[in-house]
Amino acid sequence: MPQHRRDGQGHPEGPRFLLKPALVAAALVVPLLSGGCSPGPQGGGKAPGAGETAGVSDTAGAKDDRPLVLTTFTILADMARQVAGERVRVESITRLGAEIHGYEPTPSDLKRASGAQMVLENGFGLERWAERFYASLRDVPHVTLTEGITPLPIAGDAYQGKPNPHAWMSPRLAKVYVENIRRALTRLDPAGAATFQRNADRYSAQLEALDRELQTSLALIPPAQRVLATCEGAFSYLARDYGLTEAYLWPVNAESQVTPQRMARLIALVKQRRVPAVFCESTVSAEPQKQVARQSGARFGGVFHVDSLSLPDGPAPNLLELQRHNVETLRAGLAGS
């Protein structure tokens, strides 16, 4: 039996294989906007991801009087920077590439957080590890960015019925995050209200353009082949919004554990649907999925970015590029190119 890293407490074999039928066919074709969605702040923002390689601000060591806002992971930091521009210092608690579901805060995380004026978290049960953090940060407000989003429940195993935390993976829902960030930053720094509004409007327009772009890309995949088979059940929101069928080895990385049953179910589905390629995410080992590929006759189609951005010079330096990378990886894998 293949062994896989386990973060946090593992769970015994869960009851069911997980396969979500697509709700709608993503046949809605909208013309691609040309050049309308280049990532990164315009109008003075810092390059997303800059200086974050070690989880440390690029202004560390220099005097910086701007308020410090922490986010629980790098994707939220990117979104917050898009809205904050230069007015607020934004840092992620977890580092690039970190496994974020079963994260254990370190003493240096706690020390760094002591200077923070606000923490932006995802919610939907993602940051159970942050409770200790918050307990030590009395008077520092934490704001939940999924506020207002209706969660999709996790469909099986130990997490049955709990909210799937990966709502940021739908560009449509990412706009809700942006509005929640704008409101939070405006509370923190009322004098920046107009700047935050302008930045949020611009970024939301980029997310809308991305939404149309992803629809166009995914419409190129023949409907029968629209199966997204990956390691973590992190694509439920994207699958719902873009008419994909999602299949995975485990529901959330916090209990990422391969069992013979889980693997057998995925192999059976891949064979039955003749899925040409299977995938995995950057923050966990791809070995179990490579074994699925070998045993099912599918190819291993590549690595998605979901829970963390890549390094600044990698394929997913910000959320917009992350989505493009994932969809292109999926499309190329399923097309066999």
CA distance from start to end of the chain: 31
Closest approach, Cβ 252 to Zn ion, in A, equals 6
Stretch that binds Zn ion, among 49-57, 148-156, 246-254, 263-271 (CB under 5 A): 246-254
Smallest gap from Cβ 55 to Zn ion, in A, equals: 18
For residues 88 and 155, which CB has a smaller minimum distance to Zn ion in the complex? 155
- Please, which residue, 17 or 237, has the CB nearer to Zn ion? 237
CB-wise, 217 or 308, nearer to Zn ion? 308
Residue of minimal Cβ distance to Zn ion: 307
Least spacing, CB of residue 166 vs Zn ion, in Å: 6
Identify which of residues 82 and 253 has a Cβ nearer to Zn ion in the complex: 253
Toward Zn ion, which CB reaches closer, 212 or 262?
262
| # binding residues, Zn ion (CB under 5 A) | 3
Closest separation in Å from C-beta 179 to Zn ion: 23
Hey, which residues between 93 and 152 contact Zn ion (CB under 5 A)?
Answer: none
CB-nearer residue toward Zn ion: 95 or 198? 95
Who's near 250: CB < 8 A, 6+ residues apart?
157, 231, 232, 233, 256, 257, 258, 262
Stretch that binds Zn ion, among 15-23, 206-214, 222-230, 234-242 (CB under 5 A): 234-242
Given the rule CB under 5 A, which of 1-9, 71-79, 144-152, 253-261 is the region that contacts Zn ion?
A: 253-261
Exactly one of 130, 234, 270, 316 binds Zn ion (CB under 5 A); that residue is: 234
Residue whose token pair is 């292109």? 328
Nearest to 181 by CA among 63, 20, 72, 332: 72
Minimum Å distance from CB 202 to Zn ion? 28
Sites for Zn ion among residues 296-315 (CB under 5 A): 307
List the x/- string, 188-227, binding to Zn ion by CB under 5 A.
----------------------------------------
Please, what is the minimum distance in Å from the beta carbon of residue 232 to Zn ion?
A: 5
| Residue placing its CB nearer to Zn ion in the complex, 91 or 307 | 307
**If binding is defined by CB under 5 A, does position 169 make contact with Zn ion?**
no
CB of 309 to Zn ion, least distance (A): 13
3-state secondary structure labels for all residues of the chain: CCCCCCCCCCCCCCCCCCEECCCCCCCCCCCCCCCCCCCCCCCCCCCCCCCCCCCCCCCCCCCCCCCEEEECCHHHHHHHHHHHCCCCEEEECCCCCCCCCCCCCCHHHHHHHCCCCEEEECCCCCCHHHHHHHHHCCCCCEEECCCCCCCCECCCHHHCCCECCCHHHCHHHHHHHHHHHHHHHHHHCHHHHHHHHHHHHHHHHHHHHHHHHHHHHHCCCCHHHCEEEEEECCCHHHHHHHCCEEEEEECCHHHCCCCHHHHHHHHHHHHHHCCCEEEEECCCCCHHHHHHHHHHCCEEEEEECCCCCCCCCCCCCCHHHHHHHHHHHHHHHHHCC
Distance of closest approach, residue 129 Cβ to Zn ion, in angstroms? 13
Closest contact distance (angstroms) between CB of 278 and Zn ion is 17
| Beta pairing class for 89-92 and 299-304 | unpaired
Toward Zn ion, which CB reaches closer, 307 or 321?
307
Binding residues for Zn ion, rule: CB under 5 A, are 234, 253, 307
